[in-house]
Structure 1
Amino acid sequence: MISHRRDIDGIASASIISRFEQDAKIYLLDYEPEYFEVIEKIISKLEPCKILVSDLGLPSSLLPTVAPLLEEFMERGFKIIWFDHHIWPSESLSVARRIGISLKIKTGVPAAEIVSQHYGGDSTSSMLAILAREGDYPPIKRRITWLLSHLINHYHYIDPDAESPLLTSLVSKLSRGVLWDAEMQAHMDKLSPRIEKAYNNAFRDHVQVEVSDYIFAISRFDKCIPPVLGAWKLLEHSGSNLAIGYYDTGEMITIRNHDVNVDCSKLAGRFNGGGHTHLAGGKLPLGVDNPENWIIRKLRSEPIPTVDG
């Protein structure tokens, strides 16, 4: 089983799968190509089996890396079932269908909800799907969603291995219905002062710019801030129409207010990314000197795309 490691939706999806596929080996990835190189080495040693993928899109930028792997696995007799909620480019859909991957894609809902429905949706998996929805479609109503989102993001950075003991242990706990425990609380107690400082810095240092009648807030995020939550809190704090957060690693996140008609997935194409209409990821070019200026230039390079445009 392969799932997204960076947010609550990916971890909740993995937890639900683990709840019903208890013998499944867990591998947790982000979108960097090196993760897929690790998976290639691991799967190349396996006999043909069922591979379950959740909460990972297939952007065009990854096709040259991922498509040959998928074709090789299918030719060897693996069965791949892919649960996702991102907007897939037509070329990615074409490749997946051509080689026989079973796609379970539904936009507008978290991947965990798709997985939960696939397995029948018992009380534990349904609760995990609710938390995943809050994490990917803010605002957040439950304190546990906030806590888990920050803890998952923290584990992602301090334990980056695809078989991360911290994250796989968390998946195991969540799959059994354990949403929080003393160990998690101890980790959060140590992390909380840094989180508070990071949000204060992001709010203090943000810049605002108007492009095509939309107000954008742009700020650098410390790595302890989860992308979606950070962008949403910046949106709330600044009163802007859209918010863009970026990290020293080059990662980017764009989010819009619910009443704004901008298509973030199309907009993220300017930032070498994609995702959903309401939020999307991206990547700064290597070595960019002034990220804010680069982002503003990209925003002004073409009209801002709308959902119905």
Structure 2
Amino acid sequence: MKDELPWIYRYAQGFVDFHASGSTTAKAIYPIAKLMNAHCDLGNLSAGELRELYHVTEEDLELIVHYGQIVMPHLDAFINEFYQWLRTQPEFDLYFNDSATLHRVQSQQKRYWEDFFSADISEVYVQKRKSVGANHARIGLPLPTYVSSMYRSLRIWTDVLYDHSLEPERYARSLKAITKLIMLDTAIVVDTFMRQTNCIIAEQHDSLMQMSTPVTEVWNNILMLPIVGIIDSKRAQDIMTAVLHKIADTHSRCLILDISGVAVVDTAVANHLIKITKATRLMGCTCTISGVSPAIAQTIVELGINVGDIRTTATLKDALRDAFNDLKLVLHEDGTPP
């Protein structure tokens, strides 16, 4: 029977082709992403709208329920078959390293397929699929593993456990209906996974931004901020906010911005630095930019960037010496501060 429906298996095989080729996660979900209308926000669609989007008809649901009556008595056999395959995957030992976890996941999986073959596509059904995506994102289960497991499940339900009791034409329509609903389920899970992952990345980005603006009081009335990496508009605003608050808290009179860790200084970066120095000056704090390498200096000149009256130095040591001079601190003969 399988040979009469090669398109369905090729369609589903797109879920797992990436697994053999070693593609990245982004490439792995491409077959799913093509099914997810780029102009639709799946997270805000109702159950009815999702059904319409994936063309899941009432006839499809009736076919799924009837097919479930054939295969669901073999649910335990499905679990055994599925986990025989899963034990061969590298993720098994990582995510199912104890019997309690394995038993809990197997129980959840049974409920998943009971819901699936009940074919009651309600808001509760959709919410349960979203929970799957959120849980996978929370534990860090790779999308390729999930997509591959859905393809494997499709093959077990429609090939390994099928008893050939249906007429060929009805089997063909049943298989098409099951594939549609698996596509719908997978789209919901992938969409939720990506949303959750993006939230985690955004939170991590915010944490890194906070860590990347460590304004330190290195001496009385002298602040220093080492900048590493790329300076974009968002980070420049974070730097300015952190610097101005620190100046207000400490009443410091000198600030050193060390950019030796900034790889590229173009017009945009230079403008950000100029804004920061002007803002600090308005608060009565003199700003010096240290760590200006020959390559950065040459780039600034070639770009014709007007740095105005901004004070720059090649090294942090020179910047500190200038700050001590501004504060009228007399250095020892060896160059150390008093």
Q: TM-score range by the shorter chain?
A: under 0.3
TM-score, normalising length from structure 2?
A: 0.24
**Larger relative strand fraction:** 1
Higher Rg = 2
TM-score, normalising length from structure 1?
A: 0.25
